[in-house]
Chain A
Amino acid sequence: MKTFLKIALAAALVTSAGAKEIKLLNVSYDPTRELYVDYNAAFTKYWKAKTGDDVTVSQSHGGSGKQAQSVINGLEADVVTLALAYDIDAIATQARSLPADWQKRLPNNSTPYTSTIVFLVRKGNPKGIKDWDDIVKKGTSVVVPNPKTSGGARWAYLAAYAYALEKNNHDDAAARDFIKQLYKNVPVLDSGARGSTVTFAQRGIGDVLLAWENEAHLALKEFGADKFDIVTPSISILAEPPVSIVDKTAKRHGTTEVAKAYLQYLYSDEGQDIAGKNYYRPRSETAAAKYAGQFAAVKLVTIDAEFGGWTKAQKTHFADGGVFDQIFQPQN
C-alpha cells in the first residue's frame, strides 16, 4: 500500500509538473504599461530560449500606493515593480511577504531604471510656464494625481517641495506655503498618473500636467507633438522606482526562479535598452549614453539627501494628518 501511495503521489506531481504553465503576475504602477508590454515580450523570448519553458506575464497597473495595498490585501503578485520604495516596504512590513532588506537584493537598491518629474504643457506654452514658480501663480491650473494613492504624485510633490526649500534657504514654513499654493491650483485629483494624463490630455483640463518624464514623452507620442510641449524645471527629483519579488507568493506559486530571473533581466543590455526606449533613464552606462539625447539636463535632488529617506518623508508629508492633509483643501 505504501508503494501504491508513492506511485499515486508521484503520478500527481509528474502530471501537475508536465501540465503546469508558468504564469507571473507583475503588479506595477500606472505609467509602466507600455514598458512592461515590451519587456515581457523580450523576457518571454529570453526565458524560452534559455529553459524551453513558456512563461506568461500578466500586468496589473494603478496608483502605486493603491497597488501596494492590493498586494497587502491578497493580490497574488509574484513581483512588484512600484513607483517608490516605501510602497514595497509597506508590503514587507504589513503582509510580511518579503524580507525587510529586499532592496539589497538587486543592484542600485533594486531600481533598474530611474525617472523624474517634468511639466507637460499645451503646445506653445500659452501660460509661459518655465519653472515651479510659474505653476503656483494664481490662475494657473495644475493637473497632478493624489499623493495618497499615486507614487508619481508623491515624487512630484517632493520635487516641488525641494525647489521651494532651495529657493527659501530651507525655510520649511515657506516651502509649505509654496506647496499649499500649488495644490490650490489643482482642480482634480486622479488616483494615478495615467488618470491625470487622461484628465490633461484627453479631457482638456488644466494648463500643466506634473508628469513622470516617461509619461510626458509618451503623451507626445500618443497624442501628437503638435499638441503639447515638455518643460523641464530647474530642479526636480531623482525618482527611483524599485522592483522586488514577492517571496511568499512566488514560493507558493512555484515561480521563485523565474520571478528572480524576470527582475534580473531588467539589468541586462536588452532590459536596459527597453527602459531607454520607453523614456526611462537606464542605469547601464551604455544604454544611458545611447538615450541621453532624449532627456533634458536637470538638477536632481534625492529623497535621501533632501527628505531623509522614504520612511521619514512618508510620515511627515503623506501619512494621515501629515503636511499634505494640512495644506490640501479640495476646490469644490
Chain B
Amino acid sequence: MKTYAKIIVGLLGAQLATTAFGASDLELEQLKKQLADLDQKVRILEREREIDQEGVAAAAKTAPKLSLGANGFVFASGDSNFVAQLHALAQFDSRSFFNDGGNNGNDGFLVRRARPIFTGTVFHDFDFNFTPDFGGSTVQIQDAYVNYRYQPELQVQVGKFKSPVGLELLQTDPATAFNERSIASDLVPNRDLGIDLHGDLAGGVASYAVGIFNGATDNSGTTTNAAFQDNKAVVARAFFQPWKNTDVNGLRGLGFGVGGSYAANHPNAAVTGLTAGYLTDGQQSFFKYSSGVNANGAQWRFSPQASYYYGPLGVLAEYVISDQKATSTATPNKVTELQNRAWEITGSWLLTGEDASYAAITPLHPFDPRNNQWGAWQLVARFGELDVDHNVFAAGLADATKYASGAQAWSLGLNWFLNKNIRANLSYSRTTFTGYTGTSPSATSAAAQPENVLFSRLQLVF
C-alpha cells in the first residue's frame, strides 16, 4: 500500500511539475488539494487494513484452539478455561511360559490395555478424566473422576481413581518398568470409589492425599458399592522430596514416603472374600482364600516407599503389610488375624543419555533410522517377594495343596522408547514358590514349580 501511495504521489507530483509552468494559481491549488485528498484516502485505506489486522489478531486470541501432537488431541477455548483432550493407551503383549509342565498359563498374544482417555477442564479449575478399558474380557471404567484445583496445595477429587497407597501402583500404566507390576502391588488397593483431598506443597517438596473410599480388597478395585464396603476405608499417603527444588544434584531425585489404609469392622457378610487371589508376574494365581472366607474385623495396610532418580539411574522400592481379620463360614466364631507382607525393588538404567524418571521417558533422539537416530534404550531389573501369613493355612482359610504361602520373583528386561508415543518391551521373569510348612502345592497346581515367562509388548500412548 505504501508503494501504491508513493506511485500516486509521484505521478501527481510529476503532473504538478509539468503543468506548473502553464497552470493558473487556481489550477495549482486544485491539484494540491487533489493530492492532499488522495494522500488522505491512501492513509485511511492503510489504517483500515491495520485495524482489520488488529481485529483478526484479537479474534485469534479468543478463538478456540485445536491442536494435535504427541500429547493427543487438545481442543481448548481461547482463554483456556475449557479444555477437552483425547488420549489413548494401547498395549499389545505376548507371554511365553517355559518349563511349566503344562500347569502355568497359556502362551499367547493379548490386548493388555485398550483405553481411550478423555480428560479436560471446565471453568478453569475443574479437571475431569473418563477412561474406559476395552482390553480385558469385559469393558471396564478405569477412571471416572472430577478434580477441583483450588490451588496446587489444595485439591479435591471425587469419583473412581487409584487409591493413594502403593508407589508402584500409582505410577501411570504406560510408565511402569515391566509389563506387569511387581507382586508387592498385590497387597495394595487398585482403583476405588471415593473422595480425596490432595495437593503438592512447596512446589512438590511434599505431597499428600487423604481420602475416604469404599475400600478395595488386595490387588483389586471396586466398581460398585457392595456390602463388603459398608464401613468405608480411610486412605492416606504422604510423600517427600526434600531436595527437589535445590541444586543438590545427587539428592534432587530422592523421594520417600508412606501410604496406608484403615477400614474398621468389616462384617462377616456372605460375600466374595478377601481377594481374587495373589498373582505372579505371569498373572497366574499362586494364592487364593478358600471359598466362604470373608473379612471379619478391621483391615489395615502400611506401605513405606521410596524412589531415587539420578541421571540414567532409577530405583523404586516399597514394602507393604496388609493386615486383615478373617473368618470362614464353616467356623463363623473363629476370627483369625492375617498379616501378609511383600516388598520389591526395581532398578533401571537408561543407555542413551536420557534422565530416568517416575513419569514416562522422552527419548532425546526419537527413532528415525534415516537420520541414524534410534530412540531411548533402558535396562530394567526387579526383585520382589510376597509372604502369606502361615496362619491362613493353619486356620483352614486356604488350601495348602493348591496354593503357595510365598513367592519370590526376579525380572530382567530391555525397554525401547522409539519416541514419546511408541514403546517396545522385552523381559523375562522367574517366580519361585514357598509352600506352607510341611506341605507343598500338588503337582497339578500352578505353584508346583517355578514360573518362567518371556514377555514382550508394543505400546502406543498419546
Contact = CB atoms under 8 A, between A and B. Distances in A.
A134 B370 CA distance: 74
Contacts of A195: 51, 54
B34 interface: no
A12 B208 contact: yes
A15 B51 contact: no
B208 A188 contact: no
Contacts of B197: 5, 8-9
Given A188-B51, A190-B51, A15 B201 contact: yes
Contacts of B50: 203
B40 interface: yes
A161 B163 CA distance: 69
Interface in B15-49: 40, 43-44, 46-48
Contact of B201 (A12, A187, A188): A12
A206 to B, nearest CB: 8
Contacts, number: 61
Contacts of A16: 151, 153-154
A120 B285 CA distance: 88
B236 interface: yes
A257 B151 CA distance: 20
B114 to A, nearest CB: 37
A305 interface: no
Contacts of B234: 1
B47 A4 contact: no
Interface in A1-30: 1, 4-5, 8-9, 11-13, 15-16, 19
A269 to B, nearest CB: 37
Interface residues of A toward B: which range?
A: 20 to 34
A205 interface: yes
Contact of B262 (A1, A8, A205): A1
Interface string A221-241: 000000000000000000000
A74 B81 contact: yes
A199 interface: yes
Contacts of A52: none
A308 interface: no
A16 B50 CA distance: 45
Contacts of A124: none
B345 to A, nearest CB: 28
B153 A12 contact: yes
A56 to B, nearest CB: 17
Interface residues of B toward A: which range?
A: 20 to 34
Contacts of A51: none
B139 interface: no
A117 to B, nearest CB: 21
B241 to A, nearest CB: 15
Contact of A11 (B48, B201, B236): B201
A187 B51 CA distance: 13
Interface string B236-250: 101000000000000
Given A1-B236, A190-B51, A205 B154 contact: no
Interface in A160-193: 187-188, 190-191
Contacts of A199: 47
B447 interface: no
A9 B197 CA distance: 8
B40 A141 contact: yes
Contacts of A75: 79
Interface string B197-240: 10101100000101000000000000000000000001010100
A73 B201 CA distance: 32
A13 B197 CA distance: 12
Nearest to A15: B201
Contacts of B40: 141, 187, 205
Given A141-B40, A203-B47, A205-B44, A12 B199 contact: yes
Interface string B144-178: 00000001011000000000000000000000000
Contacts of B208: 8, 11-12
A117 B101 CA distance: 97
Interface in B51-80: 51, 54-55, 62, 79
B76 to A, nearest CB: 13
Interface in A198-213: 199, 203-205
Interface in A63-88: 73-75
Contact of B154 (A12, A187, A204, A332): A12
7 contacts: A1-B262, A9-B154, A12-B199, A13-B153, A16-B153, A187-B44, A205-B47
Interface of A: 1, 4-5, 8-9, 11-13, 15-16, 19, 73-75, 141, 187-188, 190-191, 195, 199, 203-205, 332
| A-B CB proximity, top 9 nearest | A16-B153, A12-B153, A187-B44, A15-B201, A12-B154, A205-B43, A203-B47, A16-B151, A1-B234
Given A199-B47, A203-B50, A205-B47, 13 more contacts: A1-B236, A1-B262, A8-B208, A12-B153, A12-B154, A15-B202, A16-B151, A73-B79, A188-B47, A190-B51, A191-B51, A191-B55, A203-B43
